Amino acid sequence: MKLFTKYWITGLVLVSVSLWGCEDYSEVTLPDTQLNIEDITYVAVGNSITAGMQHDALYQQAQEYAYPALLARQMRVESFEQPLISSPGKSSRGRIEVTNLQTLQTTRNPNQGDLVNANIGHPYHNLGLPDAELSDYLNNQNTLSNRSLHPLIINNGNPQQPLSSIHEAVAQHEPDLVTFWLGSGDMLNYTSSGGLRPFTDPQSFATQLNQSITAIESLDDPITVVMNIPSIQSIPFATRVGPTLSNMLQAQQGVPGLVVQKTFYQENQAIGASENRQPAALIDTPDLANPDSALVLLTAQDFLPLLGTTANQQGFQAIKSYWLNFLVEAGVITQNEAQGMSTDQLEQTLTDFTIAQYEDTFGSVAATQFAQQYPGFEFDQPFGFSGQNPFPNQFVLDANEISISSTVTDIYNAQIAQVGDVQVDMHKLFDDILKNGYNHPTLDKPLTANIGSLFSLDGVHPSNHGQAVITNKIIEYINDSEGADIPKVDLRQIPRGIPVN
Give 263-290 pLDDT, tens digit per residue: 999 999 999 999 999 999 999 999 999 9
200-227 mean pLDDT = 97
Question: Which range has the worst mean pLDDT, 47-61, 339-353, 444-458?
Answer: 444-458
Task: Delimit the CATH 3.40.50.1110 region(s) of the chain.
Answer: 42-228+417-493
Of 10-19, 49-58, 139-148, 463-472, give the lowest mean pLDDT range. Answer: 10-19
Report the alpha-carbon distance of residue 153 to residue 166 in Å, rounded.
9
CATH topology of domain 42-228+417-493: Rossmann fold (3.40.50)
Tell me what the pLDDT averaged over the chain comes to: 90
* pLDDT for 35: 37
∠ CA 262-352-269 to the nearest 5 degrees? 35
Rounded to 5°, angle at Cα 232 from 492 and 82:
50
AA identity, residue 359:
E
Is beta strand 223-227 parallel, antiparallel or unpaired with respect to 105-109? unpaired
Question: Which range has the worst mean pLDDT, 1-15, 156-170, 417-431?
Answer: 1-15
Per residue in 394-438, pLDDT tens? 999 999 999 999 999 999 999 999 999 999 999 999 999 999 999
- Cα–Cα distance, 66 to 389 (Å, whole number): 43
pLDDT digit string, tens, across residues 37-65: 558 999 999 999 999 999 999 999 999 99
What does the alpha-carbon distance between residue 276 and residue 271 come to, in Å, rounded to a whole number? Answer: 14
Residues 6+ apart with CB under 8 A from 349: 327, 332, 333, 341
Q: What is the largest CA-CA distance in the chain?
A: 78
- Cβ 18 vs Cβ 27: under 8 Å: yes
pLDDT tens digits, residue range 335-345?
A: 999 999 999 99
How confident is the model over 205-234, as a mean pLDDT?
97
Q: What is the pLDDT of residue 3?
A: 52
pLDDT of residue 179: 98
Comparing 155-169, 226-240, 396-410, which segment has the lowest mean pLDDT? 155-169
What percent of the chain clears pLDDT 90, i.e. is strictly above it?
82
